[in-house]
Structure 1
């Protein structure tokens, strides 16, 4: 039907959109404090970018991407995540020539063909942060601390930060061999996806959601069992920085995240009571991704927070946001002779930065006052032909229930003084 939205999508209506605006502005404010600059990338990219950047063996690439062929016979994909797109922009626009590290953030919609459920949609929105050009454990800790800082300022409680190290190209082959030795006797019992991953990337088996695969992987070797000295030292220093700023965490040696590009630090933030998908954000380091996408060898790390999941968690925890709806001023008129004066005043107020509204349906004064109440206007200016002739207006404070006459020449100053 043309009157229903596609499955897995949502309309964000007035009354709800203010919560989104509050979250987005809070995120931007925190980014300014941490030195991150905003970037905006296309909603669609060449499909090859996500095959190379996200990983051929990921669920995203294998099952979830919205991919189509355009009129130029090019394979195009709606972005399923932001990191690969931001990396592409970093390489294409030669941002590696800027002073390093380069710290960027993006807020926008992503698309995955997934089974809709609580906190998971086919079009969803993420706040994404990326840092390019530093391999310091302190940057890892900063990124993690920033994510937790955002949640804390929103007011979310009872969150769990899980961290792990997934190694590097030097120690991954050791883990690969250990995992293949573990899963070889159970190969026939793995799900079809994991059978394919056995040769290509057995680490991905640990991230499988199939219960039988999870059971067979319960006693499998973990990433921490195979870390090289450099990765082990890096992880210890990350933990030390987090300890220094009081960020509490759980070392989760089974955490591998859902994307192939991660190296070393990986982390995920969990919330209770939002359904089967308890993650509300996460990220990690990806030191080989920029090179894989055609750029110079450059270390990188980042995270993505799901806005829908944040809002769902906030709702479940009974949080309210300090959002303001409705105009500050509503202009009510009595008689047609005051309409022109009211319209002029309306525009003057708006040009002064005052949110203002008036009636456009020819309602009675009583109906206009009722309408102003529904709009949650703080002040109502009542203009009639008599008031216009005397050069005054009646200003009613809707919260205090008081009103007084104010000269039209002093009206804007009076309203500004009211705040």
Structure 2
């Protein structure tokens, strides 16, 4: 991680890697904490506080977040592009911090679902807004690495925060833990306001050489794409078949991703019978390994400029690990397979989110990424809920995890067949009835 821009000219300053990525990564680590801490808390929620949830209810609590999550995807992306990514994220950060605290104030199942829904609403606009921000700082040749280094906040958050949530549960009620962990976003909002800038032209710390390099490289990237009339661009983006293929891929992937991630602590508790602290520490291991896989795969993808294999192969490996885990009954072997699944399921993040910018101009890029993330993340509802429902209906994990593996395999196959080699290259002619005026 010390040389994220290997191969770049040594004459070009690289401060943007040191200033932009860490500030954005810490911000989203806090968002992911407020989304993911419920996974550590749910196995112990019946033991403290008098609120009983069925297995299906627990799946619904994790999944309802993603119904709210899609509400501000497109508005957040468009606001970031047309107004300010910095200000959009700031407002949403404050609102999600308050919503996260409210999750600890609930007394009934219904209140918990409502609080989780609004947490999803306010967090929903952040992801596409930051992707818009990164698109203003990092040219396409650096985009997968920039995406992956920022998105490394996902496994890092789980590595740090899963043990933290487990430790806090040993000393506080689950309600208190949720409220405590809702405060950091409110603090980081101050840092975000003073440290972040929308683009190099607004950042005082950027040298003239680095500013000129970024602006000229981004201009070259845009010049290589077909012109899009902004007035009709959104409608044409909706008619672009590749946008809808990316939505399908992302939906299937996110179903498997969140179905795995949000049930992982519960699976580890069943395997080990451990305390909250032990479960938290064990949960951190797969996500720590996932961090390395994300960076390695994104670096390979930028070097080879092959997004297709960088997405499809890890998803197939993840599907295989989930299936194999259902036929292995040794706890140590199960944990190894869970680690393999985590590494594989996280690995495609950087390459996948580099794909839209390779064939969509900036006029419609934000809208399209918001659309992909909004509809694709509905898989975050399907995956956790399906695992909980199928487990309650069958009394076994088998069918639920076979279902997740099937969705991951489908995402990989669609990637291999539909996003053929070279299909996402910026130089490829694009039909005028799909993305041009």
The TM-score bracket by the shorter chain reads under 0.3
- Which structure shows the higher helix fraction? 2
TM-score normalised by structure 2 residue count: 0.23
Whichever of the two has the greater Rg, that structure is 1
- Which structure shows the higher strand fraction? 1
TM-score normalised by structure 1 residue count: 0.24
